[in-house]
Structure 1
Amino acid sequence: MHMAKTGLRALGIAESFRGRERSTLAGVVMRRDGVVDGFGFGEVTVGGVDGTAAVISLFQGLEREDINCVLLSGCVIAWYNIIDPDVVSRATGLPVVVVTYEDSDGLEDDIAAHFPGDAERMEAYSRLGPRVPLRLGTGYTVYLRSAGIETADAGRVVDAFTRDGKIPEPLRVARLAARAAMQYTYRQR
């Protein structure tokens, strides 16, 4: 990946849900220079196990060959619906960088409390492995998991797409789009 290239494109994916059965995913294709040149949408089941498939489907639905990497705003979404970044990377052929914003001791206790006996969900969470802290050029710290890319390169990607604060622009815009789409859908029902 050529980090200096202004045409470097990331697909940022974020979600929004309001305690319903389905959560809205939004994907934003953004160039490194901040130009947005694509949107995609999808849904996942709240408390389900379809997060990985939904991310792959959103990517495939875009029918784009110019995307250089996938950025995910977390990989435990929609009430413990776990996205496997390794599977997404293999299915898309792209590096995947998962960004989270708060330090924590993990979610094992929460998963066990909400999904007692769900060994598959617990194993999916365990496979994610640890997060790596990254101090951004903006001065904020974020936490990364990555697949198909070295951690140092993942950090450079996140830093390149973060203008201010701690949220990379493709993820910030994707979160806004997911929230707007969710609110629109919620009003229509």
Structure 2
Amino acid sequence: MHIAKSGLRVLGIAESYSGREQSTLAGVVMRKDLLIDGAAFARVTVGGSDATEAVIRLFTGLGRKDVNLLMISGNVIAWYNIIDPAAVQTATGLPVVVVTYEESEGLAEEIRRHFPGDAERLAAYRRLGDRVPVRLHTGYDLFIRPCGLSTEDAAMLCNDFTYEGRVPEPVRVARLIARGVVRSSLCGGSAPDDHDR
């Protein structure tokens, strides 16, 4: 992957809660010049263990061979449903950068409290490892977990895709779309199928 390539495409993925049982994932394909040229959706179980599968399903449903990287907003979504970036990379063949925005002491104690005895969920969280802080050109800090590319390349891509603030555009737009879909379904509109794009 040539990270300086102007036509490089990132699939940004973010979620919005859509109910007590399921949450909505939106994915947006964005070029390095910030042009959007694709979108897809998936469902993930609140409190479940299917987040990794949902991310892979969203990517597969797009049917795109020109995506160069997946950028995911958060490893722990939908009430402690954990995304495994290494499994996503293996399944898609693409590097993955997970981005978060705040400092944290970690979620191990919260997972123990909400899911007592769930050793696999706790192990999945611990396998994520530490986040790496990145200072963006906007002056804000971002925290990343890169998988399949160097920390330096991941930081450069986050910088290239951040227009203002601390949230890179692919995941910012994906989050807006996910929220819009949730609002639409709450107002009586129909929620999208996984393969709508």
Is TM > 0.5 for Structure 1 vs Structure 2?
Answer: yes
Cα separation, 2, equivalents of 1:79 and 1:58: 19
The superposition leaves residues 77-127 of structure 1 with CA deviations (integer Å, 9 ceiling, x where unpaired) of 000000000000010000000000000110001000100110000000000
Opposite residue 65 of structure 2, the aligned amino acid is E
Question: Which residue matches 1:151?
Answer: 151
Matched, 1:136 2:170: no
Structure 1 length normalisation: TM-score? Answer: 0.97
The superposition leaves residues 144-167 of structure 1 with CA deviations (integer Å, 9 ceiling, x where unpaired) of 001111111111111110011110
Is 2:3–2:153's contact at 8 Å kept on the other side of the alignment?
Answer: no
Question: Which residue matches 1:78?
Answer: 78
Secondary structure at 2:26 match in 1: strand
Is 2:18–2:24's contact at 8 Å kept on the other side of the alignment?
Answer: no
Cα separation, 2, equivalents of 1:162 and 1:103: 19
Task: Please list every run of 5 or more consecutive structure 2 residues that lacks an aligned counterpart in the other structure.
Answer: 191-197
Question: Which residue matches 1:48?
Answer: 48
CA apart distance, 1:183: 1.4
Opposite residue 24 of structure 2, the aligned amino acid is T
The superposition leaves residues 4-30 of structure 1 with CA deviations (integer Å, 9 ceiling, x where unpaired) of 222110000000005521000000000
Cα separation, 2, equivalents of 1:144 and 1:37: 25
What does residue range 2-81 of structure 1 map to in structure 2 within 5 Å?
2-81=2-81
Cα separation, 2, equivalents of 1:112 and 1:47: 13
Question: Which residue matches 2:103?
Answer: 103
Secondary structure at 2:88 match in 1: helix
Cα separation, 1, equivalents of 2:76 and 2:187: 26
Q: Which moved more, 1:11-20 or 1:50-59?
A: 11-20
Is 1:3–1:160's contact at 8 Å kept on the other side of the alignment?
Answer: no
Cα separation, 2, equivalents of 1:146 and 1:184: 33
Runs of 4+ in structure 1 displaced over 4 angstroms?
Answer: none
Identity %: 60
Aligned length: 189
Opposite residue 123 of structure 1, the aligned amino acid is A
Q: Which moved more, 1:11-20 or 1:58-67?
A: 11-20
Question: Which residue matches 2:114?
Answer: 114
Matched, 1:187 2:187: yes
Secondary structure at 1:87 match in 2: helix
CA apart distance, 1:187: 2.7
